[in-house]
Amino acid sequence: MNILSAIIVFENLHEVKRLFHWGPIIALTVIGVCSSMAILDSIIWYWPLDTTGGSINFIMLINWTVLILYNYFNAMFVGPGYISLEWKPENQQDTMYLQFCRVCKGYKAPRSHHCRKCNRCVMKMDHHCPWINNCCGHLNHAYFTSFLLLAPLGCIHAALIFIMTMYTQLYDRISFGWSSVKIDMSAARHIHNPIMPFSIAAFAATLFALGLALGTTIAVGMLFFIQMKVILRNKTSIEVWIEEKAKDRIQYYQTGEEFIFPYDLGSRWENFKQVFTWSGSPIGDGIEWPVHEKCNQYTLTIEQLKQKHDKRQRSVEYRVVEDYNGACCPLGKGLNTFFRTPCTEEPRIQLTKGETIFATRGTKWWMYGDKVLNEEQAKVGVRIRGWFPRRCVEKCHYDSANNSTSEEKKEQ
């Protein structure tokens, strides 16, 4: 019912455009191929509907498809929930503990992050998923995780159907030369007379669907375990990274602080209930959260501000010495740069010789940083950051008299 209301309400009709993206197209194609081939194999070649087992098998296949699509479309169209534009906390003094989003022109509520793809601040953002062409966050985390569980289970069932179909239909046609190996297939042969012969095309289609089913089971199953690992600790993928950086910061500066993750309620069951409920709607409004007794609502946001300040201090100024067009895998920047491009959806930025960039992280062949902009762009809130080849820049060297100028640029 939720999915129908999300599509039919006119104010949400623009959300249907999310379907026209390579992620949903591939995901729905895989679901369609595996489901349709499993149903066809069950009806035509293996386990007919006029038997009790065949009827139960057919109903289960239909149920898998319905449940998978239900959770998939809810994850896509219900969405993660967004922080209101120009949002501010009720107590104005609390703004000192929050980051300001220049795009949404408001403050980022606890656990929220700005998504470049959605161009909004997302409640309890976990990540932006290309397969649903939407963010995974507060409102759709349960739907998304349920989809990650149901898809492998449905694919396992379908894979068993594919294997048994090929095994029973090809048993009499292929001689393996193993005279000592004998398998009694009389029951399988007499269970059902196929409606149509099992042709080469049918074998190829079934084998292709089997490959899709097994690949989906492995890939999506791993994602499910990753999601459950963070849910049982009441975290998100982003918050896991924030916690790791907090420990690194404390160890690096030897501050003696003790960072306690504020949203872990100390019980896996209590953490589980924060996401999964009988109503399907998660607990909370996406702004305020139950926290550890030693923490408050702004424990994590204060840590984020410290990390942001530390990031500025550690950033290194570079000058662009070679133009770069922003290509994901540039051909003219060397074989190592081409083949070792970062495996991430984070953007690449164009570079023009003479520009200045503050780099914050990198690999041997690529770097990530913020481009220094002019005053007009800075006032408007424009921010250009992303990956670029390391060979296109060189480190700036300043004497002590110029260090203050460099620090001013970082703060800006």
Structural domain ending residue among the three candidates 213, 231, 249 = 231
Q: Is the pLDDT of residue 129 over 80?
A: yes
Find all residues with CB under 8 Å of 366, minimum gap 6, and list them. 337, 340, 341, 342, 387, 388, 389, 390
Evaluate whether 322 touches 351 at the Cβ level (below 8 Å): yes
Q: In one letter, which amino acid is 231? A: I
**Distance between CA atoms of 330 and 324, rounded to whole angstroms?**
8
In 160-255, beta strands by DSSP E: none
User: Do 192 and 65 belong to one domain?
Assistant: yes
pTM exceeding the 0.85 threshold for the entire prediction: no
Q: Which of 25-34, 189-198, 400-409 has the highest mean pLDDT?
A: 25-34
User: Do 225 and 339 belong to one domain?
Assistant: no
Which of the two residues, 178 and 361, has the higher pLDDT score?
A: 361
Average pLDDT over residues 29-38: 96
Question: What per-residue confidence (pLDDT) applies to 182?
Answer: 47
Average pLDDT over residues 149-165: 95
**Distance between CA atoms of 219 and 264, rounded to whole angstroms?**
28
Is 204 within a domain? yes
User: Do 74 and 188 belong to one domain?
Assistant: yes
User: Do 59 and 167 belong to one domain?
Assistant: yes
Question: What per-residue confidence (pLDDT) applies to 7?
Answer: 43
Is 148 within a domain? yes
pLDDT band at residue 228, thresholds of 50, 70 and 90? very high
**Distance between CA atoms of 276 and 261, rounded to whole angstroms?**
21
Is 166 within a domain? yes
Is 31 within a domain? yes
Is 101 within a domain? no
Average pLDDT over residues 33-39: 95
- What are 119-128's pLDDT values in tens digits? 999 999 999 9
Average pLDDT over residues 200-223: 95
Residue 194 is encoded by which pair of tokens?
């196929």
Question: What per-residue confidence (pLDDT) applies to 409?
Answer: 45
Say how many domains are in the chain. 2
Range of the structural domain that residue 404 is part of: 315-411
Is 129 within a domain? no
User: Do 217 and 327 belong to one domain?
Assistant: no
Give the three-state DSSP class for 386.
strand
Structural domain ending residue among the three candidates 231, 259, 284 = 231
Domain of 364: which CATH number? 2.30.30.40
Handedness of CA 247, 251, 253, 254 (dihedral sign): positive
User: Do 154 and 42 belong to one domain?
Assistant: yes
User: Do 323 and 216 belong to one domain?
Assistant: no
**Distance between CA atoms of 171 and 188, rounded to whole angstroms?**
10
In the predicted model, what is the mean pLDDT of the chain?
86
Closest to 3 (Cα-Cα) out of 66, 84, 64:
66
Give the three-state DSSP class for 295.
coil
- What are 345-402's pLDDT values in tens digits? 788 999 999 999 999 888 899 999 999 887 777 666 678 889 999 999 999 875 433 4
Question: What per-residue confidence (pLDDT) applies to 288?
Answer: 94
Nearest 5°: CA angle at 329, between 30 and 121?
65
Please state which of the ranges 120-129, 183-192, 215-224 shows the lowest mean pLDDT: 183-192
Residues with active-site annotation: 129
Length of the chain: 412
User: Do 220 and 344 belong to one domain?
Assistant: no
User: Do 161 and 21 belong to one domain?
Assistant: yes
Residue 102 is encoded by which pair of tokens?
């220049």
User: Do 49 and 179 belong to one domain?
Assistant: yes
Average pLDDT over residues 249-262: 90
Is 95 within a domain? no
Query: How many Cβ atoms from other residues are within 10 Å of residue 218's Cβ?
Result: 10
Q: Is the pLDDT of residue 46 over 90?
A: no
Helix axes 200-231, 22-44, angle to 10 degrees: 130
Question: What per-residue confidence (pLDDT) applies to 53?
Answer: 85
Structural domain ending residue among the three candidates 190, 212, 231 = 231
**Distance between CA atoms of 104 and 349, rounded to whole angstroms?**
22
Find all residues with CB under 8 Å of 161, minimum gap 6, and list them. 38, 41, 42, 46, 47, 57, 61
**Distance between CA atoms of 120 and 294, rounded to whole angstroms?**
31
Is 324 within a domain? yes
User: Do 220 and 354 belong to one domain?
Assistant: no
User: Do 170 and 55 belong to one domain?
Assistant: yes
